[in-house]
Structure 1
Amino acid sequence: MNADNPDKEMFNRQQTHWENVYTKNQSMFGDDPSIPACKAAEIFKRENMTRVLELGAGQGRDTMFFAENGFEVYSLDYSRPGVESIKRKARESGLINCVTAVQHDVRKPLPFEDESFDACFSHMLYCMPLTTSELESVSKEIWRVLRPGGINIFTTRHTGDPQYRTGIYRGEDMWEISGGFIVHFLSRERIKQLSKGYQIIDIEEFEEGKIPGTDKSRKLFKVAMRKKS
């Protein structure tokens, strides 16, 4: 494999990897919402945004938080067990009318009409094994489905993370770390590259979770961008 030409089939195999992980652990990240989702909800409420698109929703801990807080949530994930978990949680919580969960590969166009959503949220989708050109397409698709002035909030592990440049290099600042997970570490410069059509509101650094076998924490950016008219 050419390090500057990432192996797409290898990335496709990550879907099976995540499905196996979710099948073995029904609550891999716990049931409490992520800190970025809590902060995003505050922003969405302050701006009277009600219709939220969530990408890379995993097993639905943030999906359920948004629904419980009165948002209409459309959650997409490319893992079938993840989508099934979201649907089950929505039924059991009596929130099925507030949640729509769909299996979808974000490398393909989003299955929604233009200007369908007030806001978009994704926690660590941008550090999945997506090439830079694929991330540019994701940002463009989010721009398309957001209403004018809509907000896109996402998180990503960044190049200051302790696991950056460790493991097996997979091209374009992507590294296969322990557990078989491929992580795309983004720099501030890369984020600016992905912000075409948006105004960057804020890039906030934060930490989340210990790296297994160490006393170090994962380092992330929380990025908030507003769609330009």
Structure 2
Amino acid sequence: MDDQEEELAAEQRAQWQSTYAAHPGMYGEEPSTAAVHAAGLFRTAGARQVLELGAGHGRDALYFAREGFTVHATDFSPTGLRQLRHAAHEQDVAERISTTVHDVREPLPMPNATVDAVFAHMLLCMALSTGEIHALADEIRRVLRPGGTFVYTVRHTGDAHYGAGTAHGDDIYEHGGFAVHFFPRALVDSLAEGWTLDEVHPFEEGDLPRRLWRVTQTLPG
């Protein structure tokens, strides 16, 4: 990571920390549509354990737990994860959720081939360089069991905010204090090399609306 990337990463960590502190439960209690879809896929695949990357205050992690999965939720915001743990106790699913403060620029904190499924809603399109995204995909491949499923969502270059705001290079644009790496389709395809790419599903979310892809890929057994 060069100095400019490190500075942007530090700014974004501080931005998310202050945002979660100022707006507890900012995304509400209902799960994302991507998480609802992923839960069905994970169940069909026989998964029991889900690793969620970028869990935030936990609306999706809590949903997975309510659906009977054991969830390991990670995020680089201690504030968001505190809110997640509090909600888990209130919803009586605390025994099925563990949390780790973790920046995905670092190696994932679990051994090889120990995870049934990985879920990441709008985590890969944060302020990560293309190299960091590829390194994360390699880490996800490392921790997944053979036949494991990876579901992620990203904003893409067809989004209305692509090209707007402050440009940081590498298809990263900052708008309203939040930096987003907008994915071209070629990046999705390159991340699926060596996997089975099951689906790239376009959908919209939010008021803008944000334009995203929901990507499902499976590690060969």
TM-score range, shorter chain: over 0.9
Distance 1:86 1:7 in 2: 28
Q: TM-score, normalised by structure 1?
A: 0.93
- SS class of match (2:113): coil
CA-based RMSD: 1.3
Match of 1:15 among 13, 16, 24: 13
Following TM superposition, by how much is the alpha carbon of 1:137 offset from its aligned partner in structure 2, in angstroms? 0.7
Runs of 5+ consecutive residues of structure 2 not aligned to the other structure:
none
Report what 2:153 is aligned to.
155
Gaps of 5+ in 1: 212-216
What secondary structure does 1:222 align onto?
Answer: strand
Aligned pairs for 1:175-186 (under 5 A) are 175-177=173-175, 179-186=176-183
Query: Is residue 2:190 matched to residue 1:193?
Result: yes
Contact conserved, 1:6 with 1:171, CA < 8 A, in 2?
no
- After TM superposition, give the deviation of residue 46 of structure 1 in Å: 1.1
Q: Matches of 1:15 and 1:38 in 2, distance apart?
A: 27
Contact (CA 8 Å) 2:157, 2:184: kept in 1 or not?
yes
* 1:201 aligned partner, one-letter code: D
The answer to whether the 8 Å contact 1:55/1:125 transfers is yes
2:168 corresponds to which residue?
170
Equivalent position of 1:218 in the other structure: 210
How far the C-alpha of 1:133 sits from its partner, in A, is 0.5
Asked whether the 8 Å contact 2:8–2:127 carries over to 1, the reply is no
Runs of 4+ displaced beyond 4 Å:
none
* Alpha-carbon distance in 2 for matches of 1:78, 1:187: 25
Does residue 228 of structure 1 match 2:220? Answer: yes
Are the aligned partners of 1:161 and 1:219 in contact in 2 as well (CA < 8 Å)? yes
**Counterparts of 2:9 and 2:49, CA distance in 1:** 31
Determine the structure 2 residue equivalent to 1:214: none
Give distance in 1, aligned partners of 2:102 and 2:93.
21
Matched residue, 1:146: 144
| 1:143–1:197 contact (8 Å) kept in structure 2 | no
Report % sequence identity. 39
Equivalent of 1:105, from 89, 103, 110? 103
In 1, Cα distance between the equivalents of 2:94 and 2:14? 27
CA deviation after TM superposition for structure 1 residue 90, in Å: 1.1
Task: Compute the displacement of 1:12 (Å).
Answer: 1.7
